[in-house]
Amino acid sequence: MRLRLLVSGRVQGVGFRWFVREAARRHRLAGWVRNRPDGTVELEASGEDGGVHQFLSAIREGPPGARVEEVRELTSNGAEVLPQPFTIIR
């Protein structure tokens, strides 16, 4: 399963990318996460269905100090090979 998300709310400056990376690695997912200039966080992940669903639940909750207001699914081109282990893009 593969997904690409755009997360908005209070998601920058609160350890959100680190939280996403650790959640993805816990579920053995490949992919990346990055801050966007507009204050949102974008990520792409792939792996076993169960792990992706659990990962998505963690993203919707976020770490302490974050406030996830919206998780929007974006279209993935699917052709890009995702990094393993999951990484933070700066």
Active site members: 17, 35
The answer to whether 27 and 51 have CB atoms below 8 angstroms apart is yes
Q: Are strands 67-74 and 2-10 parallel, antiparallel or unpaired?
A: antiparallel
Give the span between the Cα atoms of 32 and 82, in whole angstroms. Answer: 7
